């Protein structure tokens, strides 16, 4: 399997993309899912063993809970999507050298609706 970095067909997903896809499937399901069910919800042709490996990694990272269902495990996210995204944003902010500059650049990238929502959240309540 080869990976072309530009211009051609890429055989591999970017790092973390499969984890993100699996988390999206689990968040969307609203109930625990087995590896087979997750595999069925993903891109056709993805190996069961690959899905099982990624689920195991996500569990080891503390992102998923699992419970026995017959001979298999069913997985579910430990926290909701919004909380996970907020934690990632906070981590990115913490890594920045100049927090104010990072926040300024972030706000500049928001579309008008998101900027309005952020302003509403930051507005003093009376």
Structure tokens at 90: 């906070």
Q: 3-state DSSP call for residue 64?
A: strand
Q: Which residues of the chain have pLDDT under 70?
A: 1-12, 15, 126
pLDDT of residue 10: 45
Taking the complete model, does pTM exceed 0.75, yes or no? no
Q: What are phi and psi of 7, to 5 degrees?
A: 80, -25
For residue 64, the Cα-to-chain-centroid distance in whole angstroms is 12
pLDDT of residue 45: 84
């Amino acid at each position: 399997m080869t990976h072309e970095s530009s211009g051609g067909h890429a055989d591999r997903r970017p790092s973390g993309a499969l984890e993100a896809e699996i988390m999206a499937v689990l968040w969307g399901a609203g109930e625990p899912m087995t590896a087979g069910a997750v595999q069925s919800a993903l891109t056709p042709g993805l190996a069961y063993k690959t899905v099982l490996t990624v689920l195991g990694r996500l569990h080891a990272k503390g992102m998923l809970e699992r419970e026995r269902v017959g001979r298999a495990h069913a997985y579910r996210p430990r926290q909701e999507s919004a909380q996970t995204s907020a934690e990632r944003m906070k981590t990115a902010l913490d890594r920045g050298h100049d927090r104010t500059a990072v926040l300024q650049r972030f706000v500049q990238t928001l579309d008008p609706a998101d900027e309005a929502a952020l302003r509403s959240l930051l507005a003093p309540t009376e």
